[in-house]
Structure 1
């Protein structure tokens, strides 16, 4: 193997490893602060999504709100087998607020999808 081939292999390996890290950055684990809050800011790339996910127990009430720089598709969901259940779902909105009253212990995800052609800023706040 000559030096050019070695450099090509190293570049491909780096791109593969970095690509995996970047691909996973659109899913964020909810890390509650000691006072029961979670805040997150992100850029949603054109044609991509961002979601924040965490395990919730029956009886919890999670107050949530978000603001996006342009309309996005929004939902709150959890999975039962291969199916998704949607406690909330709205198309092409730029802000929202409500309370999720947990009736099933699950890993819940708040998800925003950017169907536009430019990145969209997103600010999310959750509170227990």
Structure 2
């Protein structure tokens, strides 16, 4: 069974136990804890879409996090990354461009707002990078 089907089966099983609202509330509570502890989310759009439960960038979970943040929920710092560029034929510039284009041309974000969000991800990457400490 491929990953997408397996994850769908897990999610369908979970839906029998919890309502969608309960699942959202649990997710928001976990994100709030992550925010308070500065636990960073590294999001890998191309990789996540190709091997995860999302079928396209339109239903990618990043948009939910951004919406929840706009609604006043605590969201941890987010950084953008790539996962195995040789397999997924992507690089960090392509990931930023893909998000920008989707935000502006598909989601109708104003240019300045899209740039502001992506700049925040870039700044988070500088702050929370893995680096050798001397």
TM-score under structure 2 length normalisation:
0.29
Q: Which structure is larger by alpha-carbon Rg, 1 or 2?
A: 1
The structure carrying a bigger helix percent of its residues is 2
Greater relative contact order (Cα < 8 A, sep 6+) = 1
